């Protein structure tokens, strides 16, 4: 009897888990070590991407890796929890989400990405933890990484300011790339980029809070170029599911 009840409970759990994944268009990604995560995905047939849209994938793949690498580097430097939490709970999923699109559209960074201007890294099937930290194949991203790590290594406040900077740069780029995806009528890329941008909003406010906890009363808005009070925030007391 107990075995039968256990089987029924497991069957019900599997059904609802599968239903939830299908309903929300999430695809499982193997993170290694027996861990799984889920990223936005659609089962619609791949189409041929324009050069401009293909380049958004190479750029965001590099930019999300930059965030992951910078935050891990600054966590090692200062031990501030926001950095490791965001890098290893969120940015790694962002990298995998972009990587899954590159795999889906069978893009080769040495062939399809005209904005790759450094030796191509060929990370289409490489796990995130096996990618070389701090090395990119787009020179603009490489310079930004070098500058941000140098800046963030000077003090805890500058490190948290770097966090604000990374997220603002992400949002600015994604605003443009989401429009390209919309104009190209490629919904899976649009959905994934919206997923990345929602994450950047949350990370921005996490760094804002970190600065305020360090006595910087205006948080990210201490610097006018990083001040974005219009970014959505998660509602308190609602499990992080709602938005203001």
Residues 46 and 123 in one domain: yes
Residues 77 and 138 in one domain: yes
pLDDT tier at 27, thresholds 50, 70, 90: low
Output the pTM of the full model. 0.80
Q: What is the pLDDT of residues 207-228, one digit of tens each?
A: 999 999 999 999 999 999 999 9
Residues 66 and 117 in one domain: yes
Residues 62 and 179 in one domain: yes
What is the total count of domains within the chain?
2
Q: What is the pLDDT of residues 33-63, one digit of tens each?
A: 334 455 555 545 446 899 999 999 999 999 9
Residues 8 and 128 in one domain: no
Residues 117 and 173 in one domain: yes
Residues 117 and 22 in one domain: no
Quote the domain boundaries for residue 152: 37-226
Residues 58 and 97 in one domain: yes
Beta strand ranges found along 21-173 (DSSP E)? 26-32, 35-40
- Between the CA of residue 240 and those of 36, 151, 199, 203, what are the distances in Å? 21, 31, 12, 13
Residues 18 and 74 in one domain: no
Asked whether residue 10 is domain-assigned, the answer is yes
What's CA 230's distance to the chain center, in Å?
20
pLDDT tier at 112, thresholds 50, 70, 90: confident
Residues 116 and 10 in one domain: no
Cα(4)–Cα(10) distance, integer angstroms = 10
Residues 42 and 16 in one domain: no
Extract the tokens encoding 151. Answer: 């800046």
Residues 21 and 126 in one domain: no
The average confidence (pLDDT) of the chain is 84
Q: What is the pLDDT of residues 115-170, one digit of tens each?
A: 999 999 999 999 999 999 999 999 999 999 999 999 999 999 999 999 999 999 99
Q: What is the pLDDT of residues 144-155, one digit of tens each?
A: 999 999 999 999
């Amino acid at each position: 009897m107990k075995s039968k009840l256990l089987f029924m409970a497991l069957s019900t759990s599997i059904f609802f888990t599968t239903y939830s994944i299908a309903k929300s268009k999430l695809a499982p990604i193997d993170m290694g070590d027996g861990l799984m995560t889920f990223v936005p995905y659609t089962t619609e047939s791949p189409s041929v991407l324009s050069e401009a849209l293909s380049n958004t994938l190479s750029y965001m793949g590099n930019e999300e890796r930059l965030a992951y690498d910078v935050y891990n580097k600054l966590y090692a430097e200062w031990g501030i929890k926001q950095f490791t939490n965001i890098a290893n709970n969120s940015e790694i999923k962002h990298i995998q989400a972009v990587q899954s699109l590159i795999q889906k559209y069978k893009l080769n960074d040495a062939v399809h990405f005209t904005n790759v201007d450094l030796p191509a890294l060929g990370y289409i099937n490489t796990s995130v933890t096996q990618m070389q930290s701090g090395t990119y194949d787009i020179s603009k991203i490489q310079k930004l990484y070098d500058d941000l790590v140098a800046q963030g290594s000077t003090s805890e406040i500058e490190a948290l300011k770097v966090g604000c900077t990374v997220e603002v740069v992400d949002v600015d780029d994604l605003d443009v790339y989401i429009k390209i995806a919309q104009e190209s009528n490629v919904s899976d890329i649009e959905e994934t980029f919206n997923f990345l941008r929602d994450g950047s909003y949350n990370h921005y406010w996490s760094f804002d809070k970190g600065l305020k906890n360090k006595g910087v009363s205006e948080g990210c808005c201490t610097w006018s170029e990083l001040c974005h009070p219009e970014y959505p925030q998660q509602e308190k007391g609602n499990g992080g599911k709602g938005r203001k």
